Structure 1
Amino acid sequence: MSEAATAPAVRAAIGDSEFDRDTAVVQRAPGVYDIDLSAGWTIINAVNGGYLLAVLGRALADALPHPDPFTISAHYLTASRPGPAVVRTDVARTGRTLSTGQASLFQRDEDGREVERIRVLASYGDLGALPDDVRTTAKPPAIPPVEQCFGPQDAPAPVPGSSAIADRLMLKLDPATLGWALGSPSGNGEMRAWFGLADGRDHDPLSLLLAVDALPPTAFELGIKGWVPTVELTVHVRCRPAPGPLRVSITTRNLAGGFLEEDAEVWDSADRLVAQSRQLARVGLG
């Protein structure tokens, strides 16, 4: 695949992109950060869970002595909305190679009361200090070249209220996982895509937190429509991604009692597994 086929003529730099600006937190006091959640990362007016995880991940990177998330687990308590929010962090432990902390994001409700939206527990380290040995049976997902895949811009008409985050992504879906868009879901519970940021910014550990939760829900390929809110999401970041687009593969094997799991793998342009995740999500079966 030609990288030029997916990248804009002028690429945004890490630290100076829309993603960086929209996830930036401002320290008000030790362990307390302010942010204005951007409406640009919404799906049907709900703020995307991966974007929220990146916001909290950035606050923890500032609060902890290590720079990179190794593992981060989030529980989504109430739906977040665009607008002012406060992130509060707490350092649980610091060590030589890993540090652990927790963070919560709060917003005010219509009555002015503070409501917790999301709570995370994470361990941070330095990905650059890890040895480069790899012993794995995992293989990159088989996705057609990006020119043979399809994105939101290829649809005949956008879904009302759903295009905000799509405008900020380079997302090209494997045609084999697009049956839901044609009225013929496969029933396989799989979603695969090429993934990048629309402004060409290369990826780093924080953008990997977005990548695992940015594809359409696998529930669509199971023939289920509507919002699929995340209950819990755990991400393991394995190494810093190489420049270029990512390949994301998400699979659901079990839907029971109105809940399903989604297992994601994220591969970089050097064929390395750079992130893994599992989430529990709720589906409407009525």
Structure 2
Amino acid sequence: MTEYDEAIKLTGPDDQGRYTGTLSDDWAIGGAVNGGLLMSLATAATAACSTSADGHADPLTYSGVFLSPGTAGEITAYPQILRTGRSMTTAEVRTTQRVDGIEVERSRALLTLGDLDRYAEPVLKSEPAPDMPGPEDCPSAADAPPTPLTGSGFLKRFDLRLDPATVGWAIGRPSGKGEMRGWLKLADERDFDATSLLMALDAFPPVSFDLGSQGWVPTVEFTGYVRAVPAPGWLCMRLSTSTVTGGLLEEDAQIWDSTGRLVAHSRQLASARFPS
């Protein structure tokens, strides 16, 4: 079993429809388990619930909020099917952890599930992948100087390489353009699937770093779309932002697979701190 499959492994459902898993510091940044992994785990529970109820398995949309940081330890997912039609299933899912004997909610989301193959063709319009050097010509995050970010367990789970044209922030020279590009693979060589694409959408360093932000950049709200099951190989990613006011910014992420097909995209509202 790969590291990722182990991280989202679930047992259940129990007699109350709950699924349980275990979060690990191996997927944490700064003491909190990455929200992308939490989204993938919640989606896996929802897909299992959906298919057991004669619903659909592939995530098409995920719209959620993070209510408190996930930490290492047992986590419970509560998926609920709201409606199942011929082509799509709508569901809600909550995740919780017990803290000092009290159940604390970590995330809540609405999902649309379906069959991605049904919507794969024809492609009438799609944004092309950005023009940038290949992975072999992009610096690896593994070669960066030690920092709380590069030393995190989460980043070690990936082979992440950044376009040299958008990596100035890593050496204290943010461009101010609010754009980041690069390549992504899982370190254990597992290929991405529809569910893990949600994690990939939240795997890059925050685009606010290219604007000079410092410290943790928590997500306020996240909406992601999965458009196709990715082909094996590297994912190409681009992050950008166009509006930053009062410490809030939107972060748009796009993912193309190794064939150049756009397979996922998202927008999140995030909070960031900038030098005064």
TM-score (norm 1): 0.91
Q: Hey, what does 1:151 align to over in structure 2?
A: 140
- After TM superposition, give the deviation of residue 156 of structure 1 in Å: 2.9
Question: 2:141·2:150 contact (CA, 8 Å) conserved in 1?
Answer: no
Letter in structure 1 aligned against 2:259: A
- Alignment partner of 1:173 out of 157, 162, 169: 162
Tell me the distance in 2 between the aligned counterparts of 1:73 and 1:162: 29
Say if 2:93 is the partner of 1:113: no
Query: Which aligned pairs between 1:99-138 and structure 2 lie closer than 5 A?
Result: 99-110=89-100, 112-138=101-127
Gaps of 5+ in 2: none
What is the match of residue 58 of structure 2? Answer: 68
Matching of residue 224 in structure 1 with residue 213 in structure 2: yes
Q: Which whole-Å CA distance do the structure 2 matches of 1:255 and 1:266 have between them?
A: 22
Q: Shift of residue 163 of structure 1?
A: 2.2
DSSP-derived class of the 1:26 partner: coil
1:85-141 per-position Cα deviation (integer Å, ceiling 9, x unaligned): 11111110001100011000011223x211111001001001122351012251101
Equivalent position SS for 1:29:
coil
2:33 aligned partner: 47
User: 1:213-235: per-residue Cα shift (whole Å, max 9, x none)?
Assistant: 00001111001110001111111
SS across alignment from 2:252 = strand
State which of 261, 267, 272 in structure 2 corresponds to 1:278: 267
Whether 1:35 and 2:25 are equivalent positions in the alignment is: no
How far the C-alpha of 1:29 sits from its partner, in A, is: 3.0
The corresponding residue for 2:79 is 89
Aligned-partner Cα distance in 2 for 1:35–1:256? 38
Q: Deviations over 1:33-71 (max 9, x none)?
A: 111112111111111111110000100010112110000
Q: Note if contact 1:190-1:251 (Cα within 8 Å) is conserved in structure 2.
A: yes
In structure 2, what is the equivalent of residue 239 of structure 1? 228
Worse overlay, 62-71 or 160-169:
160-169
Q: Confirm or deny: 8 A CA contact 1:43 1:161 kept in the other structure.
A: no
Could you say if the C-alpha distance between residues 129 and 62 of structure 1 is closer, same or farther in structure 2, counting changes exceeding 3 Å? same
* 2:42 alignment partner, SS class: helix
Partner of 1:261: 250
Whole-angstrom distance in 2 between the partners of 1:264 and 1:194: 13
Partner Cα separation in structure 1 for residue 15 and residue 146 of structure 2? 46
Q: How many residues of Structure 1 are paired with residues of Structure 2 in the alignment?
A: 270
Q: Is 1:188 the counterpart of 2:167 in the alignment?
A: no
Q: Within 1, Cα distance between the matches of 2:267 and 2:128?
A: 18
SS of residue in 2 equivalent to 1:84? strand
Aligned Cα RMSD in Å?
A: 1.4
Give the drift of 1:162: 3.9
Tell me what 1:197 maps to. 186
Q: Confirm or deny: 8 A CA contact 2:142 2:159 kept in the other structure.
A: no
- Alignment correspondent of 1:251: 240
Q: Tell me, yes or no, if the aligned pair for 2:182 and 2:238 is still in contact at 8 Å.
A: yes
Aligned to 2:43: 57
**Contact 1:152/1:158, CA 8 A, preserved across alignment:** no
Cα–Cα, structure 1 residues 159 and 131, in superposed 2: closer, same or farther, change >3 Å? Answer: closer
User: SS in structure 2 opposite 1:250?
Assistant: strand
Moved more, 131-140 or 158-167: 158-167
* Secondary structure, counterpart of 1:25 in structure 2: coil
What residue in structure 1 maps to residue 195 of structure 2? 206
Give structure 1 regions of 4+ aligned residues with deviation exceeding 4 angstroms.
none
Question: Judging changes above 3 Å, is the alpha-carbon distance between structure 1 residues 171 and 161 closer, same or farther for their aligned structure 2 residues?
Answer: closer
Q: Using the alignment, how far apart are the partners of 1:137 and 1:114 within structure 2?
A: 43
- Percent of aligned pairs with the same residue? 44
